[in-house]
Amino acid sequence: IYESELEYYNCGQQQLIKVNKNTIRFKKLLRKFKRLQIASMPYNKFDLLDLD
């Protein structure tokens, strides 16, 4: 389940995210997302885009 601020795209091995960076909720979701992704795939298998 993803909050409205997070648009999630699964493109093969890459995880592409477009987000509203201006929300605290997003920051919390990003930490959770990164933990899940790091646990489930190698660093070179995913990208977080549009992040400062």
Residues 17-34, mean pLDDT to the nearest whole number = 65
Question: Residue 5, Cβ neighbours under 10 Å: how many?
Answer: 14
In the chain, the number of structural domains is 1
Identity of the residue numbered 9: Y
Residue 51 lies in a domain: no
- Which residues form the domain of 24? 6-45
Residue 16 inside a domain? The answer is: yes
Tell me the range of 11-15, 21-25, 29-33, 43-47 where mean pLDDT is highest.
29-33
* Residue 20 is assigned to a structural domain of this protein: yes
pTM across the whole model? 0.29
**For range 19-37, the mean pLDDT:** 67
Q: Is 1 domain-assigned?
A: no
The C-alpha atoms of residue 11 and residue 23 are separated, in whole angstroms, by 25
pLDDT over threshold 60, residue 25: yes
Residue 50 placed within a domain: no
